[in-house]
């Protein structure tokens, strides 16, 4: 069983770090892609707190009113160009950026699987291509086949109050294709809040995740949700 990676899309991170270390400054022809959380009221640009803890201050955008489509705390995937560093902040790395493109990423909690919802949760195959933890979020890059129906993705566990003896907590990634034809390959990103796994008197919990792909092979992964220094909560 492999250990859950604490990072995302390493090739992108290498490019990002290399460009930040470039003493020649920033080029308008460069761009970066990353995941983050929108912090704002939807009436102004606000900021984007990225998974690598950088804070992006949007001062330009291809769509000047992009923030009207988002609410505080929304999970986002953003393509951006760094314009300059914000040197006024000593406690965090902040950058002035141009937003080239930004989209909402599905973010959900963990469901208790019960008889009432077991059918709607579905049991269709799903391919896990990548997984990573950021603060209290467990995120996936998934592949599935479909055509024109809405698909549902959920992370589920057995009902009941969690105790230290339940570790590693068993989680299952479930997919409901709603009877869709398997015609076109799609990529989906989804993040799940791990906050419901917190156990009193512990500052971290172990968990395991499983999923089944189109060949019937079982995906298995494991990780540790450490919330000892996390504020409450990303939802």
CA distance to 15, 19, 61, 80, per residue, from 73 (Å): 27, 28, 20, 19
The least confident of 18-27, 46-55, 84-93, 110-119 is: 18-27
pLDDT of residue 87: 80
For the chain, give every domain's residue range: 2-104, 107-226
Distance in Å from the first CA to the final CA of the chain: 28
DSSP string over 122-169: -----EEEEEEEETTEEEEEEEEEESSS--EEEEEE-SS---GGGPSE
pLDDT in tens, 49-93: 999 989 999 999 998 899 999 999 999 999 999 999 988 876 789
Look up the CATH superfamily of 107-226.
NigD-like, C-terminal beta sandwich domain (2.60.40.2370)
pTM, entire model: 0.85
pLDDT in tens, 162-185: 999 999 999 999 999 999 999 999
**In the CATH hierarchy, which top-level class contains the domain 2-104?**
mainly beta
Mean pLDDT along residues 102-112: 96
pLDDT at 21 over 80: no
């Amino acid at each position: 069983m492999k250990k859950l990676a604490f990072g995302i899309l390493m090739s992108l991170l290498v490019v990002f770090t290399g460009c930040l270390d470039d003493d020649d400054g920033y080029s308008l022809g460069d761009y970066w892609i990353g995941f983050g959380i929108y912090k704002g009221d939807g009436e102004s640009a606000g900021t984007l707190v990225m998974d690598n803890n950088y804070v992006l201050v949007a001062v330009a955008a291809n769509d000047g009113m992009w923030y009207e489509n988002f609410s505080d705390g929304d999970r986002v995937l953003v393509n951006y160009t760094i314009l300059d560093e914000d040197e006024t902040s000593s406690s965090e790395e902040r950058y002035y950026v141009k937003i080239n493109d930004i989209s909402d990423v599905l973010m959900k909690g963990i469901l208790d699987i019960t008889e009432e919802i077991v059918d709607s949760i579905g049991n269709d195959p799903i391919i896990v291509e990548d997984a990573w933890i950021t603060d209290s979020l467990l995120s996936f890059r998934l592949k599935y086949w479909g055509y024109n129906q809405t698909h549902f993705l959920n992370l589920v566990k057995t009902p009941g109050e969690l105790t230290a003896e339940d570790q590693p907590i068993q989680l299952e990634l479930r997919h409901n294709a709603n009877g869709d034809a398997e015609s076109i390959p799609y990529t989906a990103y989804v993040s799940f809040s791990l906050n419901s796994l917190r156990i009193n008197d512990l500052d971290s919990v172990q968990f395991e995740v499983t999923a089944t792909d189109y060949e019937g092979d079982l995906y298995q992964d494991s990780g540790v949700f450490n919330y000892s220094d996390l504020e409450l909560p990303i939802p």
